[in-house]
Amino acid sequence: MTIPGWPEVFRGTAALAAGLVTPDLLRGPRFRRLLPDTYAPADAHADLRLRSLAAYLWAGPDAVLCGYSAAEVLGASCAPRAAPAEVAVTAVRAGPRSRDGVVVRRDVLDPDEVTGVRGVRVTTRLRTAFDLARWSGPTEGVVAVDALSRGSFAPDVLLNLAARHTHARGVRRVVDALVWADPRAGSPPETRLRLVLVRGGLPRPVPQHPVLDDARRTALWLDLAYPDHRLGIEYDGGGHFATPEAARADAGRHTRLVAAGWRVLRYTALDMHRRPDEIVAEVGQVLDHSRRDAGQRAVEIDRSR
């Protein structure tokens, strides 16, 4: 006999009924209780995905994972740190209530706004983007739309849902998010860095821009780029230097970009948090220098004719 979620996350009563565990074993060191009657192996990392699956089982048969939980299960991770699990239920009065670590939402979901992922009901990528755009702040809403639309749908399609759910709370935020969204973004930090630049008054950079390496017959991809100025902007999450091999590969990549005539500026999450104005000033200064140099070259060419 099998039970939903076993052995990753499961209802204790179901596991007991199936003879998979005993009461003493369930209370012992091998398992941890995530929610009432909802357990996981003690050594399992209680990340958002695991906590979301636990919330799905705990909330009952009518539950649908939504918001950041749906994004996680759909493979479009974009949640801020310590985000709670989110689950939608159709019952207005009955059913579970929000509790520590779990947000229970009561909302209208049309049949075409729900899909299944390995036996778990979740809101579709489109509905999840719509919800997160209207529930989140002006930056994280764009981050969510970028992450969920990547390789899936054009962000403007969200206007159809906005028209369908005109009275939904926060629907105006969806329209605002579309002004800044770009499905080419490679990751949530790259979206946040792009927003620092464009909201600071700089031109829109090109996300995931390829720089051809003819000698190696490959391409070097820049997180953000101003191709006309041969300027790349990259998010440095620390993984570049995680191992000596990674550090050497990153140094070689940077050398090839410089050899191709590119200048690359790199910023961390701490930079974006503490000094966004300085980032805008630094990038703007490089762009201004590039424009002046281009203008000077144009004058020199004109004089030589």
Indicate whether 173 pLDDT > 60.
yes
Q: What are the two backbone dihedrals, phi and then psi, of residue 139, each rounded to the nearest 5 degrees?
A: -90, -50
pLDDT bucket at 1, cuts 50 / 70 / 90: low
Query: Nearest-CA neighbor of 147 among 197, 186, 175, 176?
Result: 186
Scan for tokens 């050497």, then name that residue: 248
CATH code for residues 188-304: 3.40.960.10
Residue 304 burial (CB count, 10 A) = 6
pLDDT bucket at 294, cuts 50 / 70 / 90: low
State residue 242's pLDDT score: 61
Q: Where are the domains of the chain?
A: 1-44, 46-180, 188-304
**pTM of model > 0.75:** yes
Contacts of 20 (CB under 8 A, 6+ apart): 3, 6, 7
Q: What is the mean pLDDT of the chain?
A: 92
State residue 293's pLDDT score: 72
Indicate whether 23 pLDDT > 80.
yes
C-alpha distance from residue 253 to each of 61, 74, 216 (Å) = 51, 32, 11
pLDDT digits (tens, 9 = 90+) for 78-128: 999 889 999 999 766 667 899 999 999 998 899 999 999 999 999 999 999
> 3-class secondary structure for the chain?
CCCCCCCCCEEHHHHHHCCCCCHHHHHCCCEEEEECCEEEECCCCCCHHHHHHHHHHHHCCCCEECHHHHHHHCCCCCCCCCCCEEEEECCCCCCCCCECCEEEEECCCCHHHEEEECCEEEECHHHHHHHHHHHCCHHHHHHHHHHHHCCCCCHHHHHHHHHHCCCCCCHHHHHHHHHHCCCCCCCHHHHHHHHHHHHCCCCCCEEEEEEEECCCCEEEEEEEEEHHHCEEEEECCCHHHCCHHHHHHHHHHHHHHHHCCCEEEEECHHHHHHCHHHHHHHHHHHHHHHHHHHHHHHHHHHHHC
State residue 93's pLDDT score: 60
State residue 240's pLDDT score: 55
Indicate whether 302 pLDDT > 90.
no
Lowest mean pLDDT among 56-65, 77-86, 207-216, 227-236: 207-216
State residue 243's pLDDT score: 74
pLDDT bucket at 298, cuts 50 / 70 / 90: low
pLDDT digits (tens, 9 = 90+) for 176-227: 999 999 999 999 999 999 999 999 999 999 999 999 877 667 889 999 999 9
- CA gap 139, 145 in Å, rounded: 10
Indicate whether 239 pLDDT > 80.
no
pLDDT bucket at 300, cuts 50 / 70 / 90: low
Sign of CA dihedral 190, 77, 81, 220: negative
